[in-house]
Structure 1
């Protein structure tokens, strides 16, 4: 999470998108848009522990109240990579109550190629295509940097969204295949990022959802600048589709390669939904981008996870209506969010209004008295804003506000030095029953006279840490400690070493996973993988283990070459932000199950990716039309052995004449790639359910028929498949 920039040219000017035609309910797609819910944040706090789940409940209620066709989430549904049992239980319970039901689904699935479910899963990629589940509110979500896939088990990298997806409560899409996560690292390095959409249709409106879950910003920029981000587009009438792209990356520049520019996307985009940034920009209203035909919407987080200025902006979600190629956006203020007031204060500019004199705050007592008066003003303002927002609601309990007063104590009473300030935690003791954050109401900081020169690392330099610790102990100013992170300390230490085998950047990333993600095996897994790769690289040069072995200098050179090869293979942020310790070459149990390892020969690689024909057609009694996609063998991949179809199974739904479904984006003409999924054996027809007694029988809800297809994807090929006539099947409840 980072703070968004101030309004700038090209970001806040221009007409708001509007629907020029009268709304047609049979063709208008309604979407509720939200992002960065951070369920589980501060869940052990006795005051703020339920803030995130309460706001998520409000978002689900808004989706039901506005009768939307889907809820769209742009990442960081959970605050922790491994959410607690309490967080998972609360989330599953809420989604079961709000998202399951008899409401008919009007969105027709044309393709679920963008959904990455386990290749051996038997359930459909889209939950409301499952005949065993009654879904009333579809939820589509990508992952963020907090809840991204992790692990090296047999199922590949998994995240909490995979659990919700397997439970039938959410449609998780936007998984990026990166080196270290794919079954074929060389292929991922060669082909770049492939982004396949979910294709939906309602009446005459066609919607393509592109999901791009969080990866490291430097990797994203590398793929972007080298034109290696391939957006797949429908082969037939691609200009008839309204394209929404969901991203979860830095928008604010933190360096040359640590943010994604707003102009990064191609001409085919219509709306880019930006997650990760917590500031709610322009009430989440879409903002036109200079020189581009698309808009950007940044809803911001639904809960404050830091006491920064950007988090104090009122929180919103957005209601989007799409009809044809036009759309309209309505911001909705969230009312359950805890009030938060942020203010900067410079002690050197203090002015006594009563005496009209510039009174000097020449003692700690005088400074604390002045600060307490300011905090009381902020508390009164927060309570007033809450009352105004909830004046139409009876019995609504007022929440204790969050207050942050950032105090610049440089200058001193005589214009030199610094003001004398007290301990921030002791300061907050007088506001224990008035605010939700009494321990960190005040943040002291001071202006530096000159900017420090960049330190050139020859050996570990811990002077910044020592200075920050000393300052915090003497004055209570923790702003210096906030700049000193484990990442920076590890970076300084590794930069000072002369490592011949292990890659400093990869080990640093593994430490990030160990500290930030709680992955206790991250460092060990990477060390093991790098040592094995180094050994293999050396053996490729013709060296054989012997008593004498190669000359020392030659061996050292080969180790350095192997290190460079590993950095080229896994480097440039290829692992994703906290992603992927790589797919294990040996069968290793998931770290949730234990730390045991096996030296047995691994079986066939298993992992994540597009499902094998998981889309199911929903054929109604009155509609016998069907759609199918062509199946072709890719030129860059090895074709897996085809499974034998069971002779007792009936014909699969939705398979008819073959047609091309996807083409790559026009902006990526340089690269051509093709992917395909093997045909799946036709599923068995479910046996008829026994009729329930008349008094308890439940009438199945009416559903719109979906034209389904196998999930093979072809790009500019002429291959075709045999015709098949699917037997129409009735949807059972």
Structure 2
């Protein structure tokens, strides 16, 4: 048995991109099939995918079906696997189930070419059910079609922040455990870290919270690291035990390994296998790579992809061409004729040209000759030098910016910005702008069809609780006021009755020959008690007055003469 391990590298397949397009709908799945065919042709030991296997967070049934069918067709079979798994096969297994996380360790499957994949920003885990956050890769993994690794369970941002003294006992950060493989004398460690938000990733790195688990005899291993992040200029950020970093997310193909200053590892950027945007970087020839590992050394061989749809991008500066061909830039007809001479998609520098026609009209003339239905001509003024903006405060472009053309707005303005501006103009009374904006963004970008449905009842419940709390507070204040009045009335008995009753009582007492006695400020308790005994209730006083009048009338009535 040879000690050389053969690996096929690919990333950003974006299966399902424009799947409803009658022309380009099958481009992504066709290229993915070519990648699997190359793996079979070169008799690789396994395939490594660095994220964004799917273009959507919730891929369609058609995309899932075609992907599962191709994986079953090309990676299942009787071909023996010569790699030995040294790490725990139950590591990262599905909770509540006892089958291994590595499919070829399961006796129920005949796997000929294992596939290892991390998640990207398009197919990242979502949700908070009993099984935690899930993604499409979890479905393929539990079905035994690929091996999903590099899933990290990070605490919330507030939970991760350090205390005032700089300590945080709850801070665990990111711990990456490798998949350890051996073939003959060659040992390979696969470290994977799926996509993490850039700000959080920066926080984890700056606080030294990214930890890489090392096996025994770590120096005997050739270690690969798969990540899926924005690539920015910085110094070495990973441990020197890593030999090769396989960088996903960036679509430009720079597959030849690049050295990192001050470090011993290399970076390869395979790029996407399909063009998902009409940019110059996407027009570079697409590749995958065949990596051969022997001992702790590796050799990488780029392999061009043949099924990728040709994409040509070219710049045209109108002022320069106008001078050469003696064209009046104010003559719109002549300018349109000049543009029509370009064969494919053009990015036209319109700096200094005030009047431009509708680019969609030119695009309509090429329908049936080019595959892209979206505008093939973009009007774009030359970019001015700008100061660097911190990533923590990204610029949010407004749809009302007069300096942006329609095509630039469509390319650069985010859905979240559009929604936020629209909701701000509506002056919502019941639903919060930020919460509603987040729910709509989840609905559009992550295809979370329940985000708005879940947000509205939560807001309704919050409003009901707020109203109920206000009612309880009002009832409490009313009850408190009633108790205060009642207490005051009881405390001032004899003087706290209403004025009419007091006047009636006083008048009736006068009729009975009882004088009104003021006891305010009196210290004579006997006098007060005597007064209370003499004082009668109004009804009794009236009855006594009537009886007294009858007695007086009898005394005054003259007897018989």
What TM-score, normalized by structure 1, do the two folds share? 0.57
State which of 474, 483, 502 in structure 1 corresponds to 2:412: 483
Per-residue displacement from partner, 1:417-458 (whole Å, max 9, x unpaired)?
A: x2x32222221222222211254211111247797999xxxx
Larger proportion of strand:
2
Q: Any gaps of 5 or more consecutive residues in structure 2?
A: 163-167, 390-394, 463-468, 478-561
1:622 matched to which residue of 2?
none
Distance 2:397 2:261 in 1: 44
Distance change (3 Å), C-alpha of 1:119 and 1:327? same
Distance 1:110 1:529 in 2: 48
Deviation (angstroms), 1:26? 1.8
Show the 5 A alignment for 1:399-418: 403-412=344-353, 418=354
1:252 matched to which residue of 2?
232
State which of 356, 376, 379 in structure 2 corresponds to 1:421: 356
Show the 5 A alignment for 1:280-679: 280-281=253-254, 284-351=255-322, 358-375=326-343, 403-412=344-353, 418=354, 420-447=355-382, 464-467=398-401, 477-489=406-418, 510-522=439-451, 547=473
Per-residue displacement from partner, 1:108-163 (whole Å, max 9, x unpaired)?
A: 11114795332112211110111111100100000001111112222221111111
Per-residue displacement from partner, 1:544-568 (whole Å, max 9, x unpaired)?
A: x9747999xxxxxxxxxxxxxxxxx
Q: Higher Cα Rg: structure 1 or 2?
A: 2
Distance 2:142 2:383 in 1: 53
1:650 matched to which residue of 2?
none
Per-residue displacement from partner, 1:155-206 (whole Å, max 9, x unpaired)?
A: 221111111111111000010102269x999999521111111111111111
Distance 1:436 1:305 in 2: 13
Distance change (3 Å), C-alpha of 1:503 and 1:121? farther
SS of 1:285's equivalent?
strand
Distance 2:404 2:104 in 1: 57
Distance 1:532 1:176 in 2: 33
Residues 31 and 321 in structure 1, CA contact (< 8 A), matched pair in contact too:
yes
Deviation (angstroms), 1:498? 13
Show the 5 A alignment for 1:204-243: 204-234=185-215, 236-243=216-223
SS of 1:444's equivalent?
strand
SS of 2:289's equivalent?
strand
Deviation (angstroms), 1:465? 1.3
Distance 1:208 1:423 in 2: 55
Residues 113 and 196 in structure 1, CA contact (< 8 A), matched pair in contact too:
no
Residues 178 and 185 in structure 1, CA contact (< 8 A), matched pair in contact too:
no
Residues 114 and 196 in structure 1, CA contact (< 8 A), matched pair in contact too:
no
Show the 5 A alignment for 1:255-266: 261=234, 263-266=236-239
Residues 368 and 421 in structure 1, CA contact (< 8 A), matched pair in contact too:
no
1:607 matched to which residue of 2?
none
Deviation (angstroms), 1:513? 2.1
Distance change (3 Å), C-alpha of 1:532 and 1:67? farther
Distance 2:332 2:131 in 1: 60
Larger proportion of helix:
2
Distance change (3 Å), C-alpha of 1:172 and 1:491? same
1:96 matched to which residue of 2?
72
Distance change (3 Å), C-alpha of 1:372 and 1:140? same
* Equivalent residue pairs, number: 461
Q: Which moved more, 1:208-217 or 1:184-193?
A: 184-193
Distance 1:453 1:53 in 2: 38
Residues 327 and 334 in structure 2, CA contact (< 8 A), matched pair in contact too:
no
Highest RCO, 1 vs 2 (Cα 8 Å, sep ≥ 6): 1
Q: Any gaps of 5 or more consecutive residues in structure 1?
A: 1-24, 254-260, 376-402, 413-417, 455-460, 534-542, 552-733
Residues 112 and 197 in structure 1, CA contact (< 8 A), matched pair in contact too:
no
1:51 matched to which residue of 2?
27
Distance 2:86 2:227 in 1: 22
Cα RMSD (Å) of the superposition? 3.9
Distance 2:257 2:396 in 1: 45
Distance 1:146 1:440 in 2: 24
Distance 1:495 1:113 in 2: 52
SS of 1:440's equivalent?
coil
Residues 288 and 294 in structure 1, CA contact (< 8 A), matched pair in contact too:
yes
SS of 2:196's equivalent?
coil
Distance change (3 Å), C-alpha of 1:428 and 1:115? farther
2:85 matched to which residue of 1?
109
Residues 177 and 188 in structure 1, CA contact (< 8 A), matched pair in contact too:
no
State which of 167, 176, 185 in structure 2 corresponds to 1:195: 176
Distance change (3 Å), C-alpha of 1:188 and 1:525? farther
2:541 matched to which residue of 1?
none
